[in-house]
Amino acid sequence: MKKLEKGTSAEKSLRKAVGLLRRELKAKNELREKMLAESRRITRVSKEATTLIFQGRIPKAKAGLKKAGKMIRRLMRKLEEAPELRHSGALSAACQEFAEAFILLALEERGTCPTLEEVKVDLGSYILGLADVPGELRRGVLTALLNHDVEGAERRFRVMEAIYNELTALNEQAFHVLPGLRRKCDVIRHLLELTASEVVLERRQQRLEEALRRSERRLSSETFKEKPA
């Protein structure tokens, strides 16, 4: 193979071409660092919103999610010329976290599930975020049970079941397009098994306690009637 002579047009053009690539790569790397930093912020704000929802601080949770949504849209505009970064793991995870919190808020506040258009994330982030909601709903179930609110626990459990049924009813191709979905569905099934037994146990406990109270009231009434005049 003939070596390139130093200073030839081929060498100069190669140096120029690689120089342009170097500048392009530097710009892409700077954009990647910004994307990672923004993704971490979106994740943090979304997680904080989830915590606020269970604390009953709905207005503050809404404000946080509104802020996170704006951050996502602004970041997506910045990445229009770098599509490979728009599908990075960090940004995808952040969008899933946001979708999870957004859906949870709607379910807890108004009892309805928001659409993809309302959440304003990509399809994969929406579905995978939805698949994480049952884990948070289980937290709500356990909190309700601690407060002896069986109705609240049962309501959240039914939503957990509905999410599982809808996700598993998706076309089998969904599991190929979204590799993490099958594992998440397996996790939901396990959570449903655990949660069902806990809700049933609390319901039985309440029924037993109510039966004992009725029995005590009846015995007390009968004792009062049997007292001599």
Mean pLDDT, the chain cut into blocks of 10 residues (229 residues total):
64 82 83 93 97 94 97 91 81 96 96 96 96 96 92 95 95 86 96 93 72 64 58
Q: Per residue in 95-133, pLDDT tens?
A: 999 999 999 999 999 999 999 999 999 999 999 999 999
Task: For residue 209, tell me if it sits in a domain.
Answer: yes
Distance CA 202, CA 105 (A): 26
Domain that holds residue 63: 29-115
Burial string for 135-144 (b: 16+ CB within 10 Å, else e) reads ebbbebbbeb
Q: Which residue has the tokens 């990647």?
A: 32
Q: Are both 126 and 101 inside the same structural domain?
A: no
Domain count across the chain = 2
pLDDT of residue 143: 93
pTM to 2 decimal places? 0.82
Q: Per residue in 35-48, pLDDT tens?
A: 999 999 999 999 99
Last residue of a domain, one of 98, 115, 132: 115
Residue 178 DSSP label: S
Last residue of a domain, one of 84, 115, 146: 115
Q: Are both 85 and 127 inside the same structural domain?
A: no
For the chain, the distance separating the N- and C-terminal CA atoms, rounded to the nearest angstrom, is 124
Task: For residue 10, tell me if it sits in a domain.
Answer: no
Distance CA 85, CA 76 (A): 9
CATH of the domain at 51: 1.20.58.2140
CB 65 within 8 A of CB 101: yes
Task: For residue 17, tell me if it sits in a domain.
Answer: no
CB 172 within 8 A of CB 119: no
Task: For residue 5, tell me if it sits in a domain.
Answer: no
Last residue of a domain, one of 67, 83, 115: 115
CA distances from 191 to 136, 142, 143, 197 (A): 11, 12, 15, 10
Distance CA 223, CA 217 (A): 10
Task: For residue 8, tell me if it sits in a domain.
Answer: no
pLDDT of residue 224: 57
- Residue 107's Cβ-count burial label (10 Å; 0-12, 13-18, 19+) is buried
Distance CA 198, CA 144 (A): 11
